[in-house]
Amino acid sequence: MEQPTTTQHTHCLRCRRPLRSPSSVARGYGAHCAAKIRRAAADLADYKPHQITSARQLIADAAIIPLRRTLFLAVSTDGSAVHRTDARGHCSCPAGLRSARCFHTAAARMLLAA
C-alpha cells in the first residue's frame, strides 16, 4: 500500500512570498497570512458550525489552493478528489452539485476575506 505524501510548500498559498521557517513551509502560509486568515471576518451565517470547523481545518491543512483570483482547488475530506470552488457558493463536490452549502465554499470565503 502506498503511503500518502505531505506536500511541502515553498511559497505562501495566499501572497506567494517565499516561505523560510519550517512551520510556515509545513502550513503552506506565512505567519502574517496565517494570522490574517484566522482573524478574517467572512460572512458565514449560512453555514453550520461543523462546516465552519471543516473549512478551518481545510485551510490549516493547506488543502485549498487559489487557482485564480476567486477560484480555488479544494481537496475532498478523504483526499481522493479535488473540487473547484469559489466564494459565491459554486463547488464541484457532491453537495455543491446539489446546490447545497459545503465547507469548501466556506473556506474560499474565509480566504477571500483575509
DSSP code of residue 46: T
pLDDT tens-digit readout, 1-44 = 444 445 667 888 888 899 998 888 888 888 888 888 777 667 78
User: Which phi and psi (to 5°) does residue 91 adopt?
Assistant: -150, 145
| Cα–Cα dist 93/73, whole Å | 11
Residue pair 104/93 in contact by the 8 Å Cβ criterion: yes
Domain ranges of the chain: 8-39, 43-113
Mean pLDDT, the chain, whole residue set: 85
The residue assigned the cell 463536490 is 93
pTM for the model stands at 0.71
